[in-house]
Amino acid sequence: MFSRIPPLLLLFSANALAQEFPIEVFEYIDNTRVVASINEADIDKTLHWTPFEGPLPMTLTDALKAIQEYVATCPELTDAVLSGVELKPVPHHEGNWHYLVRMKTVVDGRPVSHYFIVLMDGKIVSGLREPEMVK
């Protein structure tokens, strides 16, 4: 009976080690640092692009359409207005690029920014404004 414990333990530990942890991507848009957690598998399955060597796998128009469809499913973003878009490489993943999108809403009379990363396959990942360090 006890001879079966080590193989079972090995099986469970192998599954635990196979767990994929998301990578954190830090970006800047409009002098604001944004952080997003993206699964590496999602990055790896997007199409690669090398600048000046062919068209982007996802055009800006495609990215904005994906954002528009995403926003339509989020009631809190109903009145969101696009305020910025940048094309950026995914850090430490050569050939992988994404769009960093900033939208604004007004809540209780105050502007609120919302950040999204659009991968080259149309997958959208929400980003958060990283709080400034307390000085």
| Mean pLDDT across the chain | 83
Predicted pLDDT of residue 20: 63
pTM given for the model: 0.77
Domain 20-129, CATH: 3.10.450
- What 3-state DSSP class applies to 50? coil
Confidence of residue 135 (pLDDT cuts 50, 70, 90): very low
Measured in degrees and rounded to the nearest 5, phi and psi for residue 124 equal: -115, 130
Beta bridge partners of 25: 36
Predicted pLDDT of residue 6: 56
Q: If we measure between CA atoms, which residue out of 121, 118, 125 comes closest to residue 24? A: 125
What confidence tens digit (pLDDT) does each residue in 33-63 have? 888 888 888 988 899 999 999 999 999 999 9
Domain ranges within the chain, ordered by starting residue: 20-129
